[in-house]
A = this chain, B = another copy of it.
Amino acid sequence: MPKKILLKWLQEKDITIPGALLTQYKAMNLKEEEVVLILHLISISDKGNDFPTPFELAEVMTYSAEDCAGMLRRLIQKGLITINEGYSEEGIRFEKYCLDNFWEKLADTFLIADKRNEAKENQQDEI
């Protein structure tokens, strides 16, 4: 029985987030609930579902399906999330959320913050 529990815990799969995400999301104009929604997208995708509905998100978030749909829309409008469409070999059309732009924006923001810090340190060295 304890073993079964451990295996179920493992099935929930850990997710790893770069520390930079926590220090930079504010500069990326993201709210905390949007960060958590993105973590849900990552986690749900790891478990095999690349295109969760607002209803599925609302089940694990403290927001309604309507709110979740609104957040998704805003993240798509900002260009952080894209929807990739395609056709499987059997001709079935599929859609999946793609976070490539999100990671790219995170890298951008991290590099800008780093440059600003360096500029500040140089200024202080000169004084």
Contacts and interface: CB of A to CB of B under 8 A. Distances in A.
Interface of A: 1-3, 5-20, 22-23, 26, 30-33, 35-37, 39-40, 43, 46-47, 60-63, 89-90, 103-104, 107-108, 110-111, 114
B3 A9 contact: no
A15 B22 contact: yes
B26 A19 contact: no
A100 to B, nearest CB: 8
Nearest to A12: B19
Q: How many subunits of this chain does the assembly comprise?
A: 4
Contacts of A114: 5, 8
Contact of A10 (B23, B36, B37, B107): B107
Contact of A23 (B17, B60, B62): B60
Nearest to A117: B8
B36 A103 contact: no
A7 B103 contact: yes
